[in-house]
């Protein structure tokens, strides 16, 4: 059973377009973390959201944590080829265990 | 920021041999480290939680006698793949967390190929 549903799994868009990645669960998380991974490397933390309703911005990336702390979204504005990569969401349970989404493989074409 | 160093970055070994992968926290102490396995373009699969000074906790379906974990110090955890087979070929990644206020820091991963 996948406890954290991440969608879409694959996304191919043109440079300049906007996109949103979703992570949804029926479980409440103490925090929700977003990572980006390049091929052949480990994931790199982008942001951690902790408070229900929290919104964090990182340049063209906007992260939102749902009010009930069960879901989160990542919105990228005016995507660039450098945004290409695998985006992973991970929810942290109260026992500190991370529940991972399946990942979104993003390709931004010039 | 916190740095986790993982070595080797890639290794090729023959079937039946053992391979050791090291994971070091360079500028912080990590009482707990995590070992993951990842298949191409897929998410991370937690294999085990490595605890300093005690036995590792393995996830369901992971053979503890095949994937030996040793966490002998606060900055080093090792994963040894014993009697490797081609189906063990994968990308192995370790992670640790510096404090309770931050996300996890990952090593750069180890690409294991068993021939």
Our CA-based measurement puts residue A43 at a distance from the nearest CA of chain B, in whole angstroms, of 6
Q: Is B114 on the interface with A (CB under 8 A)?
A: no
Q: Nearest-CA neighbor of B5 among B42, B33, B31?
A: B33
Report pLDDT digits (tens) over B15-36: 999 999 999 999 888 889 999 9
Q: Is the pLDDT of residue A2 over 80?
A: no
Q: Round to whole Å and give the CA distance between A12 and A68.
A: 30
Do the Cβ atoms of A36 and A44 come closer than 8 Å?
yes
A103:B43 CB<8 A? yes
C-alpha A30/C-alpha A32 separation (Å) is 7
Q: What HEC string does chain B produce?
A: CCCEEEECCEEEECCCCCEEEEEEECCCCCCEEEEEEECCCCCEEEEEEEECCCCCEECCCCCCCCEEEEEEECCEEEEEECCCCHHHCEEEEEEECCCCCCCCEECCCEEEEEC
CA-only gyration radius of chain A, Å = 13
Average pLDDT over residues B29-56: 90
Question: A41 pLDDT band (50/70/90 cuts)?
Answer: very high
pLDDT tens, position by position, B55-95: 999 999 999 999 999 998 899 999 999 999 999 999 999 99
A19 touches chain B (CB under 8 A): no
Mean of pLDDT over chain A: 93
Express as a percent the part of chain A with pLDDT over 90.
Answer: 87
Please answer whether residues A76 and A83 qualify as being in contact, where contact means their C-beta atoms are separated by less than 8 angstroms.
yes
Gap between the Cα atoms of B80 and A29, Å rounded: 32
- Which residues of chain B have a CB within 8 Å of the CB of A105? 41
Per the CB < 8 A criterion, the answer to whether A37 and A83 are in contact is no
């Amino acid at each position: 059973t996948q406890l954290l549903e991440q969608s879409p799994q694959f996304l191919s868009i043109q440079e300049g377009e906007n996109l949103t990645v979703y992570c949804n669960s029926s479980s409440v998380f103490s925090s929700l973390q977003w990572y980006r991974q390049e091929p052949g490397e480990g994931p790199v933390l982008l942001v951690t959201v902790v408070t229900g309703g929290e919104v964090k911005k990182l340049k063209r990336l906007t992260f939102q944590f749902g009010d009930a702390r069960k879901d989160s979204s990542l919105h990228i504005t005016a995507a660039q080829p450098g945004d290409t990569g695998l985006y992973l969401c991970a929810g942290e349970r109260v026992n500190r265990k991370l529940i991972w989404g399946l990942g979104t493989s993003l390709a931004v074409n010039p | 920021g916190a740095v986790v160093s993982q070595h080797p970055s890639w290794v090729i070994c023959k079937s039946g041999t053992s391979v050791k992968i090291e994971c070091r926290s360079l500028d912080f102490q990590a009482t707990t480290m995590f070992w993951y396995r990842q298949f191409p373009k897929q998410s991370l699969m937690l294999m085990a939680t490595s605890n300093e000074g005690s036995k590792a906790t393995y996830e369901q379906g992971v053979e503890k006698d095949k994937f030996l974990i040793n966490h002998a110090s606060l900055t080093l955890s090792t994963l040894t793949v014993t009697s490797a087979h081609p189906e063990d070929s994968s990308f192995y990644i370790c992670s640790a967390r510096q404090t309770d206020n931050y996300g996890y820091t990952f090593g750069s991963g180890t690409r294991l190929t068993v021939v």
